[in-house]
Amino acid sequence: MKLASLKSTSCRDGELCLVSKYLSTATCVSHIVPTLQHALDDWEKYEPALNLLYVQLNAGEVRDVFSFDPALMSSPLPRAYQWVDGSAYVNHVELVRKARGVDMPSNFWTDPLVYQGGSDGFLGPRDPILVPSEAFGIDFEAEVAVITDDVPIGVNAKKAASHIRLLMLVNDVSLRNLIPDELAKGFGFFQSKPASSFSPIAVTPDELTPYWDGQRLRLPLVSHLNDTLFGEPNAGVDMTFSFPELIAHAAKTRTLGAGSIVGSGTVSNLDRSKGSSCIAEKRMLEILSDGKPSTPFMKYGDKIHIEMKDTNGQSIFGAIEQEVRQS
Amino acid sequence: MKLASLKSTSCRDGELCLVSKYLSTATCVSHIVPTLQHALDDWEKYEPALNLLYVQLNAGEVRDVFSFDPALMSSPLPRAYQWVDGSAYVNHVELVRKARGVDMPSNFWTDPLVYQGGSDGFLGPRDPILVPSEAFGIDFEAEVAVITDDVPIGVNAKKAASHIRLLMLVNDVSLRNLIPDELAKGFGFFQSKPASSFSPIAVTPDELTPYWDGQRLRLPLVSHLNDTLFGEPNAGVDMTFSFPELIAHAAKTRTLGAGSIVGSGTVSNLDRSKGSSCIAEKRMLEILSDGKPSTPFMKYGDKIHIEMKDTNGQSIFGAIEQEVRQS
């Protein structure tokens, strides 16, 4: 299934829609369940009816359809109760540290690094990124994320896999120049991680055969900055920790409620010819090769486009396409 | 107004209730608005009807009432979209650092320290605290928190004050022995901050005259560990950053959605005769005076009681009363 949330003036959580496999048409499903959070709260109950309607939608048998327009969509979950973002591509972490001249502790290869994100309001996939100042060092981060149902405390990675209900793409907007001072205070990110945005469509794992193996999504994640290719690393390559491992890490001392979003962190391949999924990584590579960075962070008016296509060139999640503007 | 959420098998967010001023009776308000999150999403719309019913409840004019029992309540928001916890009692931070032998940067007195908490599932005020291992170093943290409506990006402290809709108490459960390794990784807390719990009742600011001045709540916050007084520092004393200042800090680069919870951090007075609001602080004082800590962290079966009474001895928010158990 492919699910999206239509922006609504009457409901902050949008109106849940099914989107056809090739993203041409959509239909609202409020007669089944009003919002994606509702559906995730009781997935077993709603999934059969949604699935049936999805089959009909793809067969052209649904009457009440409209042309799918990503600009009308919010993030699949316009707000969520849990957003935990990993840093699963450890080579990226190592690189960032190297450019700073500090070693990475060896346990970073065995103990996942995650941060608790804020989730009270996500940007839609075509919403502008509003930032008070260009001096904050505006960056995108292209990632993959999963959405879980209820995950019990202490779940192991093997069992965690069965709790993955949906996948989507993320732009984890970061304000690089605020990060050093904020992390130096010791309590992690807050001001330096403003609202993230997600792909217009969230997709069930069964849709992703043969690219999804229950652990990793094995396709390139393609980022264009101002219409120029910036990176296309494969999300299934060099992902040190799988999604089930990230979930198990997050659930070590707490349950995760239905609708929890777990992110991969910036997708990054050791093969540097694949480019980068954030400006910071490119700047680190420039520092290592030239002694100083040359690619600037984003300015007002800059545009970022993030998309993942299957091997037939078909967009899976729709594109995140955002412009940076002054708030 | 005093508001609470009755646990419900059919709704994860509970059923919104009004509780009488002296916590004797309660009445469900689902005919006005089903949940506290709904009410906060559209506060201007629902407040008048809730206020009218509250007056009638206190006058004994409501028929459909029941005895108020905190054990039947979830946290006022059983799950939330935003939980940002401050460290506003800077003398506490300074003390913790002193015991570790490290200086506190001077800007900690001028730049608020906050962390992004997880909010997908809060414990009820009488729910057990389930922890996989006593070796994690189980601690309570008694705090005050506010709940906001929609806060615009970049709001200043003066304007932030008008966005405070409710106040409540918090037990910000911490796993002390997981903290050093987790913070050393650089991205803040995750596993070391399991689910928090909140007082059974959330209270509108007007109820708190003359103790609430729009900035701080000037009453002792009383913690008992296993029925022994542990601390009773005044929440209005030595709070370096006011709630409006904490909100303004949190909203510097993002909006805060309706229902955002902003915590004070562990309440702590420079006057050490007032005791402490967490075991860690007591242990730090023991380290400074005796060279080593003597108060152990919590064990399975230990009970924590957190409450705030007005100057007439009347409980304002009801008590948080929790036992630690193995998950």
Distance CA(A293)–CA(A285), nearest Å, equals 8
Nearest CA in chain A to B185: A113
A84–B116 CB contact, under 8 Å: no
CB-based contact, B87 to chain A, within 8 Å: yes
CA distances from A214 to A157, A250, A312, B57 (A): 11, 17, 21, 54
Number of other residues whose CB lies within 10 A of the CB of residue B49: 13
pLDDT tens for A100-116 read 788 898 899 999 999 99
pLDDT tens for A185-213 read 999 999 999 999 999 999 999 999 999 99
A81–B121 CB contact, under 8 Å: yes
pLDDT tens for B106-137 read 899 999 999 999 999 999 999 999 999 999 99
Residue from B117, B2, B165, B118 nearest B70 by CA = B2
| Average pLDDT of the residues in B173-197 | 95
Asked if ipTM goes beyond 0.95, one says: yes
Distance CA(B324)–CA(B299), nearest Å, equals 7
Phi-psi label, residue A255: left if phi above 0, alpha if psi -120 to 50, beta otherwise: beta
Residues 30-49 of B with CB under 8 A from A: 41
Distance CA(A143)–CA(A234), nearest Å, equals 11
Residues 98-117 of B with CB under 8 A from A: 105, 108, 111, 113-117
Least Cα separation, residue A120 to chain B (angstroms):
4
Nearest CA in chain A to B154: A132
Distance CA(B253)–CA(A324), nearest Å, equals 13
Task: For residue B14, list chain A residues with Cβ-Cβ distance below 8 A.
Answer: none
A252–B79 CB contact, under 8 Å: no
The one-character DSSP state at B235 is T
Q: Which helix (H) or strand (E) holds A284?
A: helix A279-290
pLDDT tens for B34-88 read 999 999 999 999 999 999 999 999 999 999 999 999 999 999 999 999 999 999 9
Question: Whole-prediction pTM value?
Answer: 0.98
CB-based contact, B128 to chain A, within 8 Å: no
Residue from B266, B291, B263, B301 nearest B281 by CA = B266
pLDDT above 90: residue B97: no
CA distances from A55 to A28, A58, A67, A304, A323 (A): 14, 5, 17, 33, 35
Helix/strand/coil for B287: helix
Residue A170: what pLDDT? Answer: 98
Least CB–CB distance from A118: residue in B82, B130, B154:
B82
Q: What sign results for the dihedral spanned by CA atoms B170, B176, B182, B186?
A: positive
